[in-house]
Chain A
Amino acid sequence: MNDIELPHPYRHWIGRLSSAAWRERKEASAALLEQVERDREHPGRLADVADVLLDVLASPEALTERASCHEVLVGIGTTAIDPLLRRIAIPGASQRLLVDLLAEIGKPAHARYLHAIVVDPHADPNLRASAASALGRLGGQDAASILVGLLRDPSEMLRMHALDALRRASARVEVGELRELVAQRFTRKAAAAVLGHSASVEAVDLLVPLLDDKTSSVRAVAARSLVLLEADLEPMGRSEVVHRALRRASGETLGRVRELLAHELIEVQAAAIALCGMASDSEMVPLCLEVMDDPLLHEQVLRMVGRLGADAPLAVARAGDGVGGRAREHLVRIIGAIQGEVGAELVALLIGALGDAYAEAAVAAAEVLARVGDRSCLAELFRAMGKPGVLGAAAGDAIVALVQHSGETTDLDLIVGSVWPQTGDLAANLCRVVGELKSDRHAPQLVAMLGSPDVQVRVAAAIALGKVGGGHGGVSGLSFALADEEPEVRAATCRSLGWLAAPESLQPLIGATHDPAPSVRAAAVQALVALDRPTAWPRLRSIIAEESVFTVVVQAIAGLGSSELDEDLHRLMALCSSPEWEVVKAAARALARFRQHRATAALLGLLDHERWDVRWIAAEVLGERRDATALVPLRRAVVEERDESVQNVLRRSIQALERAL
């Protein structure tokens, strides 16, 4: 025992850890953890606490308090590592507890402290097993090397622990090291799991036969490993090896893979679907309809269907018999995932689904027809375009896609006709169609629609006028719409004026930045920024100073990016210390085009920001600015940066600056 004198609360609660009553021990550990959180700024004190707790943990008499001690030490975290490492090599009953603790709070660099324990043939096998598991949790190259050595240990139990740890660490192990372990029944499943991380084509021939293994859990692990393997081989251009092996698999093997769709783990279900895709096994399609309510499996099924090739349409048509409700929506989505021609039978099925009582199926059918339909579908889609909500809009989108695809402008005239309804879904969707097809011939109708009594029609007409393009007199019509009583119409009008980029839009848009509705102000500022006119800068500056809605401010800041004036540089530098980090990011982005060195200094200051995304943007912009004076601070920052993604951005920026030198 050491002589460390801890503050009273610690002494009190550590003493209570030995209470006979479970509830009191729990109360003590909770109180200690609270105290630890309060003392985070005093690592020295926490190290002393850890020292005392480690002594308690190591004491052979302290059986009752062990679990609570462990819990508090985990709460202390990395500060407890040094005192822990001073004790871990000392043999004794507590050594295993220390190994378990290191697994929870240690880092990959601590693997070497477990090496001696793992390789000692005279050590307690349970201690060695714990050390192996701990290595798996620590991860890293050192841990993997030690664990691979353990795979040759005479003890089956230790080999098993080593495999589990290697899997946990996602370690890349030579296939030769695993071959024998796959052959042994006891270690087969664990070895198959490790093979999944091997990134070696040699693993394929070991894993595919395991899909027929007598034990279902081995089959499940083999399926998951093959999927992991294929993903790792893909960047090397070798994933085809897995596909070929699966295409050669017997009908019985594929049947067993399909059975995995009923597995209770979603990862195994997803793997089964993926493998059937790789094997071009179209018999999986009807079975998948039952699991597609799950979004992850849904996407996996669509990927699979995309891989089936020419067999897909027939398989999907067969699966469609008697399917209703939600499954019908899934079926429609599957049709949309087919690569290449889907055939008349499936197109007919889609047209039928436009009238499906299950609304989502009808919407899906319209969306899929946009991709796979042809001119013969236009009449049915026109009818669907009059339906309320998402279905009408989706049918309109499909018409746009089909007319664009056919290139026949007469199709548009047939659909649009000469007399439009003034209100309702059909009118709104007609506006959308005309806008998407950029038909300036219909601009007069769109301007007329700005006077519709139906708000959704006015919104659609305003958006459409922006898309149709310039030269149609729409700007004046849109300017009037800025006085519309509904904010949705005014916001849509601002966006359209921004797209049209007509000089006469400038003043109406500046006027719209005073709109009472934040959504309109944000849209107006966004449009002004797109126009990029110096005459808008004074208004943008006052918005930054006065506006209370962040989205509006963030848009306005972006608009000052091209001013390059000193006053704006000062403004943006001041915004870099805003408590709202989206404002800081917008200011950092805007500084990209300011050539003054002070902009670099301001951005370098953000490399210490508490938010990872602010540091990310600062690093990115520093790379874009090509100011070589940032190089040294960036190199320093990459060493100190703890976030991996930000590190990557910093490295890219360093490379960009080095190239520019």
Chain B
Amino acid sequence: MSSRTPDGKPLLPLRGEDSRLIQELIHDHCGLSYGLDSEYFLERRVGPRVTALGLGSYREYYHYLRYDPSGTSELETLVERLTTHETYLFRESYQLEAFSSEIVPDLIDRHANDRTITVWSAGCSTGEEVYTLAILLFEDDRLRDWNVRVFGSDISRKVVAQARAATYGPSSFRTTPDSVRRRYFSERGGQFLVRDEIRRMCSFGQLNLLTTDRFHMVGKCDVIFCRNVLMYLRAEARKQIVAGFFETMRAGGYLLLGHSESLLNVTTRFDLVHLNQDLVYRRPL
């Protein structure tokens, strides 16, 4: 879509001061930095929003974001255009294996009294990870009469709505065993709907991870999956979010990051735990 001003002229390229001001607002809103240094990418993503709002320049758009009562909601829309990341079910199997065979048994031992496990998928995108974790927990017979919740959050309203719809196309199953797909999904016209018993274990919400004061809505967590999210954020944002995770976790709770992510230079509050299948972080007991 070509981006134009209300009087039909093409928008000037997004450069220099305006580009940096918009990047700064995005950083402050959600910590996102990855990809924004490419003015080509930023312009392609921001330009259509300027046109859609009938504004005449990127500077007007910046003013709109900062001063207009709808600015916050527009910022969410913009971030949505910058951050929807592709994912699929049963991604990074070694980590899921570590979750099922090492972390869950530990939680079962420690929570034998309250029989409650809460898992949070922070930055869940379209929900594949949430349903994957719910399936893994559902398959553990020891948890049959436990209160097991998997909560998924994402900054994008759009992907949270998709996650709630719980419907996936064939490409979401690229690493899912056929038997699992047959057992937990029902097919409708080439799309696959998550079965009710799994959906009942899951809930979703829209959450900007920088708003750590809202983390209490998740409740005390036993495991937080935050895979391939922190790597897109600025260092200060990472620190703030990880500090929020620490406070939200129960003692002994686990934090699982993407395979190329670590807490090096972020915090030393977590213990690094060497599981057989993976290295994970744990809030000290």
Interface residues of A (CB under 8 A from B): 22-23, 26, 67, 71, 104, 264-266, 290-297, 299, 324-327, 367, 370-371, 394, 436, 463, 466-467, 495, 499, 519, 549-551, 554, 582, 612-613, 616-617, 645
Contact A645 B20 (CB under 8 A): yes
* B7: A residues at CB distance < 8 A: 466-467, 499
**Which 10 pairs show the lowest CB-CB distances between chains A and B?**
A293-B86, A294-B86, A367-B1, A290-B171, A551-B67, A550-B67, A296-B35, A294-B85, A551-B63, A299-B41
B window 131-188: CB within 8 A of A = 169, 171
List 17 A-B residue pairs with CB atoms under 8 Å apart, sorted by A's residue number. Answer: A22-B284, A23-B284, A26-B269, A71-B268, A295-B81, A296-B35, A296-B41, A324-B190, A326-B169, A327-B169, A370-B2, A463-B6, A495-B6, A550-B66, A551-B64, A613-B21, A645-B16
Report which of A294, A325, A467, A612 forms a contact with B8, defined as CB distance below 8 A. Answer: A467
The yes or no answer to B83 lying at the interface (CB within 8 A) is yes
Q: Which residue of A lies closest to B64 (CB)?
A: A551
21-51 of chain B: CB within 8 A of chain A: 21, 34-35, 40-41, 44-45
Within B68-88, the residues touching A (CB, 8 Å) are 68, 81-86
Q: Which residues of chain B have C-beta atoms less than 8 A from A291's C-beta?
A: 86
Partner among B8, B85, B268 whose Cβ is within 8 Å of the Cβ of A67: B268
Establish whether residues B20 and A293, one from each chain, have CB atoms under 8 Å apart when the complex forms.
Answer: no
B contact set with A: CB distance below 8 Å: 1-2, 6-8, 16-17, 20-21, 34-35, 40-41, 44-45, 54, 63-64, 66-68, 81-86, 92, 169, 171, 190-191, 259-260, 265, 268-269, 284
Q: Which residue of B lies closest to A436 (CB)?
A: B8
Across-interface contacts of B82 in A (CB, < 8 A): 295
Q: Which residues of A contact B2 (CB under 8 A)?
A: 370-371
Residues of A within 8 A of B86 (CB): 290-294, 297
Are A554's CB and B83's CB within 8 A?
no
User: Per a CB cutoff under 8 Å, which of A67, A292, A549 touches B67?
Assistant: A549
Q: A152 → chain B, closest Cβ, in Å?
A: 30
Roughly how many angstroms separate A360 CA and B35 CA in the complex, as a whole number?
24
A264-B259, A294-B85 known; A551 vs B21 contact (CB < 8 Å)? no
| Interchain CA distance A613-B25 in the complex, whole Å | 13
Which of A104, A264, A295 is B84 in contact with, Cβ under 8 Å?
Answer: A295
CB nearest neighbor in A for B62: A582
Q: Once the chains bind, are A293 and B6 in contact (CB under 8 Å)? A: no
- Which DSSP category, helix, strand, loop or mixed, fits chain A's interface? helix
* A residues in contact with B6, CB < 8 Å: 463, 495
Whether the pair B20, A551 counts as a contact (CB closer than 8 A) is no
Q: Once the chains are docked, how many angstroms separate the CA of A495 from the CA of B8?
A: 13
**Alpha-carbon distance between A264 and B63 when the two chains are bound, in angstroms:** 38
Q: Within 8 Å CB of A292, what residues of B?
A: 86
Q: How many A-B pairs fall under 8 Å by CB? A: 77
**Bound complex: CA A616 to CA B17 (Å):** 8
Q: How far is the CA of A299 from the CA of B64 in the complex (A)?
A: 25
**A197-B256 Cα distance, complex, nearest whole Å:** 33
A294 contacts B84, CB within 8 Å?
A: yes
**Closest Cβ neighbor of B191 among chain A residues:** A325
A265 lies within 8 A of B260 (CB): yes
Q: Determine the distance from Cα of A616 to Cα of B24 in the docked complex, in whole angstroms.
A: 15
Pairwise interchain contact B92-A617, C-beta atoms closer than 8 A:
no
State in angstroms the CA–CA spacing of A539 and B169 once bound together.
60
Task: A582 to B17: give the CA distance in the assembly, Å.
Answer: 12
Minimal Cβ-Cβ distance residue in B for A291: B86
CB neighbours (8 Å) of A324 from chain B are 190
Chain A neighbourhood of B8, CB < 8 A: 436, 467
CB pair A295 B67 closer than 8 Å: no
Minimum CB–CB distance from A419 to chain B (whole Å) comes to: 27
Since A264-B92, A290-B86 are in contact, a sample of 13 more A-B pairs with Cβ atoms closer than 8 Å, ordered by chain A residue number, is A26-B268, A26-B269, A67-B268, A264-B260, A291-B86, A292-B86, A293-B85, A299-B41, A325-B169, A326-B169, A327-B169, A550-B67, A551-B63
* Chain A proximity of B139: nearest CB distance (Å): 25
A554 near B259 with CB under 8 A, answer no
Q: How far is the CB of A293 from chain B (nearest CB, A)?
A: 4
| Residue ID in chain B nearest A437 by CB atoms | B8
- The interface residues of chain B lying within 8 Å CB-to-CB of A645 are 16-17, 20
Contact B259 A295 (CB under 8 A): no
Q: Which residues of B contact A23 (CB under 8 A)?
A: 284
- Residues from chain B with a CB closer than 8 A to the CB of A367 are 1
* A-chain residues with CB within 8 Å of residue B63 when the two chains form the complex: 550-551, 554, 582
Please name all residues of chain B whose beta carbon is closer than 8 Å to the beta carbon of A295 when the two chains form the complex.
35, 41, 45, 81-84
Please name all residues of chain A whose beta carbon is closer than 8 Å to the beta carbon of B84 when the two chains form the complex: 293-295
